[in-house]
Amino acid sequence: MRKKVQYTSTGEVVRKKPLSKRIWNHRGYYLMFLPVFLFVLIMYYWPMLGIRFAFFTYKPVGPKTFVGLKHFQSMFIDPLKAPAFWQAFKNTLELSIIKLLITTFASVIVSVFLNEMKNLFAKKTLQTIIYLPHFMSWTVVASIFTLILSKSETGMVNGLLVQWGIIEQSEKIFFLADKGWWRPIYYMVNIWKETGWGTIIFLATLSGINPELYEAADIDGASRLQKIGYVTMPALANTIITVLILNLAKVMNLFESVFVMYNIAVYDVSDVISTYIYRQTFNTFTPDYGFSTAVGLFKSLVGCVLVLVCNYLSKKTRGRGIV
């Protein structure tokens, strides 16, 4: 096979130095890159060797035993483990996708509202107030809403419902332990915490809209709502699709927001794959790390498929992939 020859713009042959020589000449850059490279290897790739435990029975006491695909069979068809696993898998998809759609919709509405504000001081103040919840940890957020929704004297919501005569004192609702209320509360908390941060991308898109489009709409006699419908929203459409596609790849990573808000009374509607793995590992007297690893491996494979699907969709809509 003939070696490919490269030419410069003047027609001269490009003569590359040997690889070892090029590395030595740029040794300073490679030395600066080395710590990052080692960090990635140790923190991201070394733990991947633990995937082999998905095919072993590995408990805190006793030797590990090779069992092949037994853990995956237990996960999918075992009458004791499969129902909880499939419920967690279903909850993961439902909670993640609905949360994504709701928070994206809320971010679009808020960003359009902020973009329409003419008072710059009021706009910046409102932006800051909306952004602040994003910087609070989920533990703090869960603590705040647990107090607000509590049945005790500190429960503001129950107190108002009793005061307005909607419910009796003995009928106070424990919202976070009620299967009918847990998901609406979870979505509401996510909107409160993440909407402000999500508006950043949409506001950046809105700031790039050509003002002449609005001027042309004014000349045509368009109202403010018509300008939003025929100028603003079409300009946002591509960004909305891109945000949805990019976030769809992360739907399997749901953990912290659920973990700090759920409890045993609402497992049926709140337990997700990551919390299921956590409970199988740390809430069991003699955990089987092999089974937990098998569930984690399945989760990673589904996440990988979603990334590939999203990459394909991204190429179709944006002309370039995400990976």
The answer to whether position 60 is within a domain reads no
Q: How confident is the model at residue 190 (pLDDT cuts 50, 70, 90)?
A: very high
The answer to whether position 13 is within a domain reads no
Q: Return the ∠ at Cα 160 (arms to 154 and 166), rounded to 5°.
A: 130
Task: Tell me phi and psi for residue 241, to 5 degrees.
Answer: -65, -40
Q: What is the DSSP string of 89-122?
A: HHHHHHHHHHHHHHHHHHHHHHHHHHHH---HHH
How much is the pLDDT for 102?
93
The answer to whether position 2 is within a domain reads no
Q: Return the ∠ at Cα 200 (arms to 300 and 40), rounded to 5°.
A: 35
The answer to whether position 249 is within a domain reads yes
For residue 136, the enclosing domain spans: 74-318
Classify burial at 272, counting beta carbons within 10 Å of its beta carbon; exposed 0-12, middle 13-18, buried 19 or more: buried
How big is the chain by its Cα radius of gyration, in Å? 27
Q: Identify the helix (H) or strand (E) that includes residue 56.
A: strand 56-57
- Note the pLDDT tens digit of each residue in 288-318: 889 989 999 999 899 888 888 887 877 777 6
- Note the pLDDT tens digit of each residue in 35-69: 999 999 999 889 888 888 899 888 888 788 888 89
Domain count of the fold of the chain: 1
Q: Is the model's pLDDT at 257 over the cut of 70? A: yes
Place of tokens 């979870």: 186
The answer to whether position 281 is within a domain reads yes
Question: Euclidean distance between the first and final Cα of the chain, in Å?
Answer: 31
Q: Identify the helix (H) or strand (E) that includes residue 318.
A: helix 289-318
Distance CA 57, CA 64 (A): 5
Distance CA 233, CA 265 (A): 42
The answer to whether position 33 is within a domain reads no
Neighbouring CB atoms inside 10 A of 287's CB total 16
Q: Is the model's pLDDT at 242 over the cut of 90? A: no
Q: Return the ∠ at Cα 17 (arms to 15 and 21), rounded to 5°.
A: 170
Q: Is the model's pLDDT at 3 over the cut of 60? A: no
How much is the pLDDT for 188?
94
Domain CATH number, residue 91:
1.10.3720.10
Q: Return the ∠ at Cα 186 (arms to 183 and 191), rounded to 5°.
A: 130
Q: What's the whole-model pTM score?
A: 0.82
Q: Is the model's pLDDT at 167 over the cut of 60? A: yes
- Note the pLDDT tens digit of each residue in 8-32: 666 666 667 777 888 888 888 889 9
Residue type, 22: R
Neighbouring CB atoms inside 10 A of 3's CB total 5
How much is the pLDDT for 251?
87
Distance CA 50, CA 69 (A): 16
Question: Average pLDDT, whole number, for the chain?
Answer: 86
Residue type, 100: L
- Mean pLDDT confidence for 111-122: 86
Question: Which residues have a Cβ under 8 Å from the Cβ of 238 and sit 6 or more positions away?
Answer: 317, 318
Q: How confident is the model at residue 322 (pLDDT cuts 50, 70, 90)?
A: low
- Note the pLDDT tens digit of each residue in 146-163: 999 888 877 888 888 888
How much is the pLDDT for 269?
93
- Residue 56: beta bridge partners? 66
CB 103 within 8 A of CB 194: yes
Tokens of 101: 């759609």
The answer to whether position 137 is within a domain reads yes
How much is the pLDDT for 95?
93
The answer to whether position 264 is within a domain reads yes
Distance CA 274, CA 58 (A): 19
- Mean pLDDT confidence for 266-272: 92
CB 57 within 8 A of CB 65: yes
